[in-house]
Each structure stands twice: as C-alpha cells, then as structure tokens.
Amino acid sequence: MEEELKPIAVEPTTESSLEGDVHHVNNPVLDLPHIEKKYLGSVKSYLKHDKGYIFSDGSAKVEVTVVTDEIIRVRLAPKGSFLEDFSYAVPPSNLHSVLFDLEESEDFFAVKTNTVICKIKKQDFYISFEDRIGKVVNADYSSMHWEENPDFGGYYVYCTKKASSDEVFFGGGDKATNLNLRGKRIQNWNSDTYSYAFNQDPLYKTIPFYIGVHEGDAYGIFFDNTFKTYFDFAAENHDQTSFWSEGGELQYYYIHGPHMMDVVKRYHSITGTHYLPPMWAIGYHQCRWSYYPETMVRDVAKQFRQRSIPCDAIYLDIDYMDGYRCFTWNKQYFPNPKKMISDLASDGFKTVVMIDPGIKVDDNYWVFKEGQENKYFCRRGDDYFMEGFVWPGRCQFPDFTNPKVREWWGSLYKGLVEDGVAGFWNDMNEPAVFGRGTFPDDVRHYYEGHRGSHRKAHNIYGMQMVRATYDGLKKLYQNRRPFTITRAAYSGTQRYSSVWTGDNVATWEHLKIGTLQLQRLSVSGLSFCGTDIGGFTGEPDGELFTRWMQFGVFSPFMRVHSAGDTRDREPWSFGEDWELINRKFIELRYKLLPYIYSVFWEQHKYGLPILRPLAMLEQHIPKNLQREEEFAFGDKILVSPVLNPGQQEKIVYLPAGYWYYYFDNTGYEGAQEHVVHTPLDEMPVFIKHGSVIPEYPVMQYTGEKKLEHLKLNVYHTSGKEDSYVYADHGDTFAYEQNIYSEKHFIVDGSQGFLVITQHIEGLHSERFDNYHIYLVGMPTLPTSVSQDGVDIELQKDKQDNFFFVVEKEFRKIVVQ
C-alpha cells in the first residue's frame, strides 16, 4: 500500500537544475546547444510501495526497487511520470519480493536489504551502493540527468559513476575488442557488419550489461534500455564511467558480487538462463553458403562418414529456398527434400536450415499473402508498409513485437518440421536491409501494446524473431527440444536461442578476436555461442583452419561456416596431414560430450557461464584481470588456444592448484606461468586436480552407439574437490519433471590415497550398469581398491592403462 509523499527538510543546492558543464561523457551527436541539460535536484519527498520507494526532487522522481537481497533497480522519471513497467529482458516471473527497510539520517536515505545498502544523498540525489559493512562498491559521480528530445519526444538519459583508478570492466556482449573494457567507449545498435575489424563497433548484438571489479570486489550494472545506448569506461575521463541512451527510461539494475561469478549468476536470475539444448546441438556442425544442390549435400555427408570424421548437423543456407522465399524449397535443387532429410537422418545427420525475416512482396506467395491479409507487417510513420531489399528482392517485414505475429510466425515452420528439419537458423535479423542498413526510425512497432518507433524496437527485433521461432517449434516438436541460432540478440535472448559472432574473416587476428568474443558473450549471459570456424570470408591455410578447429572444440557452439566464394572448409579440405589433426580434435569433442553436456546443465540450472575468463577465476590477482588467452570451459578444463602461425610454444598461466596436461597427463603447479610446447597436433588443455571427467567412446554422431559403460577419468588430488556429471534423455523436456540424473562426485585425496564418493539426484536411470574408472596422476600404482567395502581388481586396457570397474550407483570407493 502506497504512503503519501513525505516532505524532507534539506539545504538548498545550486545543482537542482544545472546547464552547461556536465559530469558525463557526452555523445557529440547529441550535445546540441539548444537542448537544456537537467540534473536531479535535492530530495524533497518520498513514498513507499510494496517493492521499494519513490523519491522526488519536487518534479522528477526516482524509483528504487528491491529485486532481491543482492539486486536493486533504479528508474528515473524526469517529469515525474514513469513509463509502464515492461521489459523483454526481464520476465515479471523473475522478480520476487524480499524484506527491506528504509533508514533516514541527516544526509542520506538508506534502503537496506540483508546484503546491500542503497544510499540516496539528500542534498544532490547522488546514489551509491554499499555492502553491509559499509564498503562503497559503486557510486554516482554526478546525479542522473536528461535532455529533452525535440524531434521524437522523450529524453536522452544519462548516468555517470565514479571509476576508481584500479577499476576494470568486463562484459558488454558482442564486442570485438579486449576483455578489459577500461579506456573503451562502446555503443549498442544491432548492425550487419560483414568482415568486421578489431575494435569495430557496434556489431550484431546488444547486451547493455557490464561487470566492474575494483579492490578485488565485483558488481554489475544492467542498463535495461532497448534504444541506442552508449557506455564509456573511463575513456574520456579517467575517473568516470558513463552510460546513456537516445531515448527510453534511465532504468538500471545494480547487481552485487562480490565475485564476478556471483554477478553473472544474479544477472541470469533476472534475465534467464539458456534452455537445455538437445545433445546433438553440441556436437560438430558443418555449414556453408551454400550446400546445394542435393547431390552436394549428400556428397558432403558421405565424405564425413567415409573419412570417419564425426558430425551431427549439416546446414542449408538461403539457396535451398524457392527464390529466397522463406518456408519454401527450390525443387530444382531439392526435388524431394523430405526423402533427402530422412536419408541424412538415417546416417546420423540433422538438417538445419536458414530463415530470414524479409518476406518477398509477391501476391502468389502464401506467406506474404497471409501477412498482408492479417496486417502482420511493419508500417512506416505515415502508415505505408515498411519495404526494403534483401535476398528475395523487395520485401516486407513482420512485426515480431506483436504476440499475434509471433504466434503466426511460429506456425509457419510446420511444413519444414514435417519435412524433418531439426534446427533453424535466424539470420539478417538486426534487421538488415540492403542499401540503408536497417529500418528507418519512423517504423512503428506494437511492442506488446507499449507502442514505439524503430528506435525503441530495433535492438530487440532479432530477439523477438527467434523467440517466435523457439515458441513455435516447442509446439510443433511437442516434447522434443528445439535448436535455434540467431545472429542478432538483446539481453535475455539466451532463453530462446544460441548465437554466433557473425561474418568474421579468415585471419589469425580474427581467431584471437573470436576467443575474446566468446569469453565476453559467456559472461554477458549468452554462453551458448560460437564463431564461424575458419572464418566466414577470406582464405585460411591449413594451419589457421586447424588451430581454429582446436579452439572450436572448446567453443560451446561448434560450427564451420564459410562464404560460397571461398575455398572449401570441410575438415579434409587442406590435405591429409591437416585432416588427421582435425579428426583428432573433433573426436576429442565427442569424447568430452558428457562433460560438455554437464556444463550446459550447470548453465541452465545454476546460471554459471560456460566459458570463464581468468579474471573470473582469480579476480583478486590484478595481473589476471588483464590476461585474455587462457579461459576455463566449465570449472574443470582450462585451455589456451594457439593464436599465431608457426607457434611452437607459448607461455600459459595456470590458476592456483595442480593441473594435468590433457595429452600426456604431466602435472603442473598452479598460480604461475609455464612454457608449454604447442606442436600442430596439440593445444594447451589442462585438467584441474581432483576432477572427475566423464568420457564417451568416439562416435560418428551423438547417440550412434549404445553405452556399455561410462568411462570416468579421476585426477589425483591432495585435497578435496567436487565434480558434477549430468545425464537425461538428451532431447526431451522430461528433465523438467526430474527425469534426469545429476551425479555429485567428491574426490578426497592425499599422497597415495584417494576416496571417491557419489551422490545421485533425479529419477533418470542410464542404460549402462558400470563405470570404468581410470586414475590419473596417482604417484604409485594402487595396491588395493574397494567399492562400498568390497575389494575390486585392477585391470588393463589395450593401451596398458590401468582401470577398475564399479557399479554405477556406488557410494564410496577407497584407493590406496
């Protein structure tokens, strides 16, 4: 129940309506002399509502909402009227009430939770965030301010924070630059950026979320604003960090740490986690613009199987369509697509096809006719249809911000699903338009009833397209999980789709850029991400392609993709020597699938990022905040891709602990750098001590072989470590009814001694009966092994490696 506005006695301030000098980083385009710049004045009154407080300077209002104990939302209404509370990024179901209170002192109001204190300074409306012992984690440099927009109505809104001298910044989504954003200025406006360069900005995605770290503590800021937004990370002024937009509300979430992992998990708690993909979606995928006609598709598939190179999916780009009309087939190239897809499926291949948003203007085209008749296409400000040229020629574009349009769009996939298509790839959805880049600003959008121009809807257009795709496929596939991939995205897209980094280039620089982009996307909420392995455009040689393939094994989404005017990019395209190495690493991907699948489960259930930069692993070590080449895949595997031609060795930093080199099990002490040899058929891959790494036999596609047993590689430790191994049906939603198996292993060891315990959660029972456990790094050969008190014999495999067999539901194993 709301209380009445309560007046507050405060000293007058000269900053109640400042003009001229401002304490923020100005966008030169917006810094117009006739626009009055206004700051919040002193706090004069406040009222309470069920989730927080609204403070006022007599005209403007600021709402402070307690989302959780660790998350506070701040909203500004320059003239006292808030917009309707709606967000595509944050579903209402993700917001929960918590206990909080308000304390007033002579100088401040303090909104307190069990974890965070949000202070509002009475005199000048400065806002800061502290932990419960009074340490200031984030604070305003100046009060929030705004400028009226004379052309569109609304406001340009600004917020400027203090940046301490040691502060570094991470996140920001799809940015082709260094991991640490300090000294950078970025903007968010989803853009089709073919063959982009290092530091080119903006790119395809808008993720207005960053993580700040200073004095060893981390926090997050999520600026939930879909307009064109900007961030300045101490670029113009070394002691200031600013974010602003060209419209909409100044609405941001402060997310408390103190660890980077905490911040990312809490960001996921409000924006959602990735859906759990079908197992085949995390296998190896092969794509090209374009595989056609049907004979070429069949030949590529045949080559994979004849060469015994694992592959789960083959993609069809726009040339499979009839004149680039979405949801159609070119019957000249694909006379019987259903049979082709069925034949591919019988050999273990899933078929994934491209769908773009541009619908060809053609009265004889059924999709266009339905869209016209139901008024589903976007219109200009003067009520004419928005038209632009893309691949089919003259096109109109659905308004995916309208629920009816999304439902219609989702239903259009029915024919392709009935043909057997297993996955869908949404491209060109920034939205891209030839000749003009994107839609004009005056295009109107329904926006769930919160109507607005394209300035407001542009950055969520691709997100809502793939949402329509995902929701439609869930209905069509019924209990099977969809697989979708999108090029354009906004925060929260992870609930609907995987992503890739767009049209990159076959250069060593772009291989490095890709490692940075995927780490950044992962800590920005979009963990299911990948690059076009080998580069989309340009010509890689065998070494570059192979080194990229090695990195691809440890990319959450693993796909080769290339343009049609470049040389072939299949794993065998560069000669036999390179083919052998590529096969070896693709096989490694398939061996590690149960581990990778478990990491995806941890992302889905717990909000943990899949790729974790060194800064996230050891944020208390300042030097590690600048390291970029090493990262963890989950919490057990650390990799350092080879990023230079002819490189025979590299310096690799290993975090604290003890690590085993994957390819020969050599042990390395952590918390230091090591010189690691990098022969062409290896890449620095290390396993953390105490890990339990499940491993499948090599398969040509997921599910090819029935498991007789599950291999577990247990790495010796002189401490105590936890591991989780997850399994379910692999392609259904039964896990939502607890039909899954989450196995928690605890490895407790000392010199020559190891105890392994297991706890199992969930109702899923795997079809194999036994584990084959291989011990790695034991200082001496064990003299005895027991399972739940019963002695077990050691055995040797064909490679003379020792292992022992235990029942899959064991409770305790003792090795000594």
Catalytic residues: 427, 430, 503
Q: How far apart are CA 705 and CA 768, in angstroms?
A: 12
The single-letter code of the amino acid at 103 is: E
Q: How far apart are CA 772 and CA 752, in angstroms?
A: 20
Rg (CA), the chain: 28
Q: Which residues pair with 453 in a beta bridge?
A: 444
Q: Which residue is associated with the tokens 């203090």? A: 162
Q: Take residue 644 and report the two structure tokens written for it.
A: 């230079």
Q: How far apart are CA 384 and CA 668, in angstroms?
A: 67
Q: How far apart are CA 489 and CA 799, in angstroms?
A: 48
Task: Give strand ranges (E) for 224-281.
Answer: 229-233, 240-245, 250-256
Distance (Å) of CA 213 to CA 163, 239, 256, 280, 616 = 10, 14, 11, 37, 10
The answer to whether 349 and 314 are in contact (CB under 8 A) is yes
Instruction: Quote the Cα angle for 196-198-202, to 5°.
Output: 60
Q: How far apart are CA 206 and CA 88, in angstroms?
A: 13
Judged by DSSP in three states, 724 sits in strand
Region of 265 please: left (phi>0), alpha (psi -120 to 50) or beta: alpha
The answer to whether 460 and 88 are in contact (CB under 8 A) is yes
The answer to whether 580 and 308 are in contact (CB under 8 A) is no
The answer to whether 394 and 458 are in contact (CB under 8 A) is no
The answer to whether 38 and 147 are in contact (CB under 8 A) is yes
SS3 per-residue string spanning 610-647: CEEEHHHHCCCCHHHHHCCCCEEECCCEEECCCCCCCC
Alpha helices in 47-153 (DSSP H): none
Q: Which residue is associated with the tokens 């040389």? A: 567
What phi, psi does 268 have (nearest 5°)? Answer: -65, -30
Q: Take residue 277 and report the two structure tokens written for it.
A: 């993909």
Distance (Å) of CA 291 to CA 297, 500, 538 = 6, 19, 18
Q: Take residue 441 and report the two structure tokens written for it.
A: 């600003």
The answer to whether 71 and 251 are in contact (CB under 8 A) is no
The single-letter code of the amino acid at 427 is: D
Q: Which of 529, 517, 554, 548 is nearest to 639 (CA)?
A: 554
The answer to whether 471 and 406 are in contact (CB under 8 A) is yes
Q: Which of 73, 163, 172 is nearest to 116 (CA)?
A: 73
Task: Give strand ranges (E) for 97-216.
Answer: 101-104, 108-112, 116-121, 127-131, 136-148, 155-162, 168-171, 185-188, 205-206, 209-214
Q: Take residue 325 and report the two structure tokens written for it.
A: 């009309």
Number of neighbouring beta carbons within 10 Å of residue 187 = 16
Chain centre to alpha carbon of residue 692: 26
Buried/exposed 692-702: b ≥16 CB within 10 Å, e otherwise: bbbbbebbbbb
Q: Which residue is associated with the tokens 């509300």? A: 249
The answer to whether 452 and 227 are in contact (CB under 8 A) is no
Chain centre to alpha carbon of residue 494: 6
Judged by DSSP in three states, 320 sits in helix
Q: Take residue 352 and report the two structure tokens written for it.
A: 């994934």
